[in-house]
């Protein structure tokens, strides 16, 4: 069972099943169950080689976790149908859970919860393997409720097992040049208010060492966190949209469901980061100087050389 998408064995389910809204990620809106106007009859994308300049970075970052080809196989192949589209949405959620479970099971310090995680994985697999009728009767939220506390426990065990580092290995600790273009532009929050000249870190985030901190669910969009030590921090479900994390240390940080859209990861170290997905990495900005967890591919659209440019 693969958790990596194989579009050659799918029928364009991701171009039909999900809805998306006109935004910085998508050039126009599309309701769920309606084929994208760029979907060709052969289930290929007519703008696949120019998605970003065409206004679809959300498509570049999107990952079905291998749900597309699995659903097609369970239905015995195409053509697309309403039941297949419905099953796809369910299986994608379940495959995402399996991605997180696999990550937790790969962490030796999380051994105390490995048995429970393995049980949860078997239950999810059984629901999918049961075929279309089993999938239709499956509530992903119920499996999520079982898995979520196990993932949190695995994260805590893993992060606390890593001793605080004296500095950040492999990094020189220097912050990016304050006169660089990234710091010449005004910072704005989500409402567009100009935050230039304000302390974006906030009093409770003062200092460069934020290692091991509980920042779960925090609103950190647009924050200047360049060069900060966030190793072993809990950043799960945090909003980091557009944040500057150039040169930051994120080793063994928990990034479960953290929003990394537009985050500058140039020179950042995410080695060993927990629960990081291809979607998160694909929605961020990075380069050849960004260190990713083993096995996580570097997005093709990332720059090939480091730069302080935004």
Of the pLDDT bands very low, low, confident and very high (cuts 50, 70, 90), residue 165 is low
The reported pLDDT for the residue numbered 179 is: 35
Question: Are 216 and 236 a contacting pair, CB within 8 Å?
Answer: yes
In this model, does residue 97 exceed pLDDT 80? yes
308 and 181 Cβ atoms separated by less than 8 Å:
yes
Q: Which class for 3: exposed (0-12), middle (13-18), buried (19 or more C-beta within 10 A)?
A: middle
Task: Report d(CA 27, CA 37) in Å as an integer.
Answer: 11
> Element (H or E) spanning 191, and its range?
none
Please tell me the least confidently modeled range out of 15-24, 154-163, 188-197, 244-253: 188-197
Cα distance between residue 105 and residue 66, in whole Å: 19
| CA distances in angstroms from 277 to 63, 150, 241, 250, 305, listed in the order given | 9, 18, 16, 14, 22
pLDDT of residue 305: 45
Task: Report the number of secondary-structure helices (H) and strands (E) in the chain.
Answer: 8, 0
If you search the block for the tokens 């079982």, which residue do you land on? 146
Position 170 scores a pLDDT of: 40
Q: What CATH fold (topology level) applies to the domain 166-310?
A: Pectate Lyase C-like (2.160.20)
For residues 169 and 156, the model is more confident at 156
| DSSP 8-class letter at 291 | B
The confidence score (pLDDT) of residue 204 equals 65
Query: pLDDT class for 163, splitting at 50, 70, 90?
Result: confident
Per residue in 184-216, pLDDT (tens digit) is 333 333 333 333 323 344 556 766 789 999 999
Domain ranges of the chain: 7-18+62-161, 166-310
**Are the C-beta atoms of 291 and 269 separated by less than 8 Å?**
yes
Residue 307 predicted with pLDDT over 60: no
pLDDT averaged over the chain? 87
pLDDT tens for 46-88 read 999 999 999 999 999 999 999 999 999 999 997 999 999 999 9
Q: HSE on the CB side for 177, CA within 13 Å?
A: 8
Q: For the segment 246-263, what is each residue's pLDDT rounded down to a tens digit?
A: 999 999 999 999 999 999
CA distance 297 to 274: 15
């Amino acid at each position: 069972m693969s958790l990596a998408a194989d579009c050659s064995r799918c029928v364009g389910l991701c171009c039909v099943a999900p809805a998306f809204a006109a935004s910085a990620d998508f050039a126009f809106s599309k309701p769920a169950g309606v084929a994208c106007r760029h979907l060709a009859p052969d289930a290929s994308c007519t703008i696949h080689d120019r998605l970003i300049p065409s206004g679809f970075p959300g498509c570049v970052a999107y990952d079905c976790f291998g749900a597309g080809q699995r659903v097609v196989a369970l239905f015995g192949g195409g053509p697309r149908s309403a039941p297949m589209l419905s099953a796809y949405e369910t299986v994608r959620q379940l495959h995402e859970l399996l991605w997180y479970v696999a990550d937790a099971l790969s962490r030796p310090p999380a051994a105390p919860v490995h048995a429970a995680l393995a049980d949860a994985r078997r239950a999810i697999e059984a629901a999918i393997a049961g075929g279309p009728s089993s999938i239709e009767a499956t509530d992903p939220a119920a499996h999520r409720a079982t898995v979520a506390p196990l993932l949190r426990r695995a994260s805590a065990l893993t992060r606390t097992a890593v001793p605080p580092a004296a500095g950040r290995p492999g990094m020189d600790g220097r912050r990016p040049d304050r006169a660089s273009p990234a710091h010449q532009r005004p910072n704005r929050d989500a409402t567009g208010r100009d935050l230039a000249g304000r302390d974006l870190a906030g009093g409770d985030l003062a200092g460069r060492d934020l290692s091991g901190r509980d920042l779960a669910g925090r609103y950190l969009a647009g924050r200047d966190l360049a060069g900060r030590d966030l190793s072993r921090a809990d950043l799960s479900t945090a909003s980091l949209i557009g944040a500057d994390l150039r040169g930051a240390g994120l080793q063994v940080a928990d990034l479960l469901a953290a929003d990394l859209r537009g985050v500058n990861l140039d020179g950042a170290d995410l080695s060993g980061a927990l629960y990081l997905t291809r979607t998160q990495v694909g929605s961020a900005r990075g380069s050849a100087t960004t260190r990713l967890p083993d096995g996580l591919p570097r997005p093709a659209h990332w720059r090939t050389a480091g730069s302080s440019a935004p």
